[in-house]
Amino acid sequence: MSLLISNDDGVYAPGLSALFNDLNAISTVKVVAPDRNHSGASNALTLENPLRIQELSNGFIAVSGTPTDCVHLALNELCESPPQMVVSGINDGANMGDDVLYSGTVAAAMEGRFLGLPAMAISLVGKTYYESAGHYAQLLVKKLLASPLAQDQVLNVNVPDLPLDKIKGIKVTRLGKRHQAEMIEKGIDPRGRDIFWVGPPGKIADAGEGTDFHAIEEGYVSITPLKIDLTATEQLNRLTDWLDR
């Protein structure tokens, strides 16, 4: 069995090493990850510049590109034989609700699924108990490979930042929602020019029962199935009627 793992926090991130250690215990693992932090990169591909790679002393491959670049390059060029699955993470922080639209962690998994492989993104809602997230990553990889899900699904997994014995279990959830992001923060650089920082994420708007936010708050691992096909199929007839008016 072989796995490909990547992330968006970069090849030196502690979550990536933790994920490698747990999955390497059950499989051959190839690591291809960005050479720097690409949080918030979403599904971006690098098209205007070449990609460069560097193999590190631990065998990990660093790529001068985005998380999506890493998986795309690995599956089309760097992997000697196709892996059985793509796993992205362990992200340093949550990827819940609307955050998944911006997440490079989720995007790396999406690219794996788009290229025909089972895929999972896993995030730790904090920065401490990577071993808890690694445990659930190993458990879910075993289950996915033994009993694959529908081909259009990616699993988005969030693990509470708790010791393993304090986590209550797993809940299947839907995405919650946030309010609009906070205001852009404007400043002045040392040369007197305007600079701008994207503001923090908006406050949680929907954390009701059944959401990923609610599961994490209650001490459960959240698993949300995501689809690559973004078509709002339930709106097709309504849109046709609207055009015919």
Over residues 192-216, the pLDDT tens digits come to 999 998 877 777 777 789 999 999 9
Place of tokens 């971006």: 44
Over residues 164-173, the pLDDT tens digits come to 999 999 999 9
Residue 203 pLDDT: 79
Closest CA to 116 of 89, 90, 79, 63: 79
CATH code for 2-177+205-244?
3.40.1210.10
Residue 216 pLDDT: 97
Residues in the chain where the model's pLDDT stays below 70: none
Residue 29 pLDDT: 97
Over residues 47-71, the pLDDT tens digits come to 999 999 999 999 999 999 999 999 9
Asked whether the beta carbons of 228 and 114 are under 8 A apart, the reply is yes
The long-range contacts involving 177-181, CB below 8 angstroms and separated by at least 24 positions, are 177/97, 177/98, 177/204, 177/205, 177/206, 178/97, 178/98, 178/99, 178/202, 178/203, 178/204, 178/205, 179/203, 179/204, 179/205
Closest CA to 112 of 62, 74, 55: 74
Asked whether the beta carbons of 88 and 105 are under 8 A apart, the reply is yes
Residue 183 pLDDT: 83
Whole-angstrom distance, CA of residue 9 vs CA of residue 41: 10
